[in-house]
Structure 1
Amino acid sequence: MRNFAMPRTFLDHIAVTALSLEAGNAFVTECLGVVPQAGGEHPRMGTHNSLLRLGDTTYLEVIAPNPAAPPPTRPRWFALDCLTPQSPPCLSAWVVRTPDIHATAAAASENLGVVESMSRGTLNWLITIPADGSIPLASGAPALIEWQAANHPAANLEDKGLSLAALEIIHPDPDRLTRLVSSLQLEAPVSVVPTASAATTRLIAHINTPQGMRVLSAPHAIP
């Protein structure tokens, strides 16, 4: 029996979800002191986004339902259909890049969803999406992505002096999430931290900015 080396994976991007792109952009600007740049539309999901470069192969995405697009025939990704008018913008998701999404998904200790083909403008990629649009493992698991392009899209974004220092995932079942991260062969500054109680999952990103270290999470979240 042959032993195949699992491909290494990397943190590709983090995502702020919001009911509107304007609200999400305002939240990120308040937290980081930098205004996201325009992104584009995701026709299959009925969403649109804006972006901030965090490095040559890492970025921050603000994503929201696109009111100008026809509603999708399936649930939107990143649990966007669960948002209500009372839902504040929030750092809600993270995405792991792999050179072989099928191999990485098969090796993952959790079911991360179905591998789907997606596009935005001239960009094309494969990504894992649960059929119900949820974020697996109590909203703590990442999506997997495999870009179908020679260059990473972050390299084409404006450099505004931002970089990701660390991502913390506060999770009610840290052992299970740690097993998942280990199974992905992840090389990234990601740590899993237990909650003090059976609280919900929270993501906390520590980001270097021109104004110093800033924290991006959820409104009123305390790192």
Structure 2
Amino acid sequence: MEIDHLAVVCADLDEGSAWLEKQLGVSLQPGGQHPYFGTHNRLLGLGPGLYLEVIAPDPSVPDPGRPRWFGLDDAGAPKLGNWIARTDNLSGRPPGSGDILPLSRGDLTWEITVPADGSLCEGGAFPSLIRWGEGAHPSSRLADQGVGLLSLDITHPEPDRLAALLSDMADPRLRLSHGASAELGAVFDTPSGRVTLGKERFS
């Protein structure tokens, strides 16, 4: 597994985009719509094979008739709300990670794990899993604005068990620690210095 992208979740895409642009000091690029889940997004490239999205319910499309992914039915103010890991093996996913759904937008195709109730596996500590179809990764279409991911910090009540679930993840930017609940924090290098979204758990 590899870190594929991070998701800032929010109730309103314009609000979430403005918040993230203020935090990082750069502009987001247009994303697209996800009619199956009734959401839309905007994007920021973080280098080859990695990007950041702001995602929110899309009021311009019909209600999807099912819970939205990433817990977006309960989204409020913008926050770092999920991470997504790229893998070639979706069949080895742990219990609670959800069904494998085939999705597409334009020439992009992918499969992703989503629980039927729209919740997050392990409270968001375990990632949604994604397998992209043939073609270039979405990050290759995004401009380099000088923002990079330094670390993704995750707290969990059972970090050793979580580490076992993530045993196929070999990325030194992923750091686990004990906490009363599952929480995400990400540290970025930006043109104006280091920026943390969520809680930075390591000095």
Whether TM-score is above 0.5 comes out as yes
Residue equivalent to 2:194: 213
Residue equivalent to 2:69: 77
Structure 2: gaps of 5 or more residues: none
Structure 1: gaps of 5 or more residues: 1-8
Q: How far off its partner does 1:120 sit?
A: 2.2
1:58 to 43, 50, 58: 50
1:187 to 156, 170, 177: 170
For the pair shown, which has the larger CA radius of gyration, 1 or 2? 1
Q: How far off its partner does 1:175 sit?
A: 2.3
Q: How far off its partner does 1:149 sit?
A: 2.5
Confirm or deny: 8 A CA contact 2:83 2:124 kept in the other structure. Answer: no
Worse-superposed segment, 144-153 or 12-21 = 144-153
Q: TM-score, normalised by structure 2?
A: 0.93
Q: How far off its partner does 1:10 sit?
A: 0.6
Q: Deviation per CA, 1:23-77: give whole Å up to 9, x if none.
A: 1112211211112111000010100000000011000010000000111021100
Provide the alpha-carbon RMSD of the alignment. 1.4
Q: Classify the secondary structure of the residue corresponding to 1:137.
A: helix
Deviation >6 Å, runs of 4+: none
Q: How far off its partner does 1:222 sit?
A: 5.6
Q: How far off its partner does 1:191 sit?
A: 1.1
CA distance in 2, matches of 1:187, 1:27: 31
Identity across the alignment (%): 43
Residue equivalent to 2:87: 98
Work out the number of aligned pairs and report it: 200
1:13 to 5, 9, 24: 5
Check 1:30–1:114 CA distance in 2 against 1; reply closer, same or farther (3 A cut).
Answer: same
Q: TM-score, normalised by structure 1?
A: 0.85
Residue equivalent to 2:143: 158
One-letter identity of the residue aligned with 1:36:
L
CA distance in 2, matches of 1:160, 1:39: 16
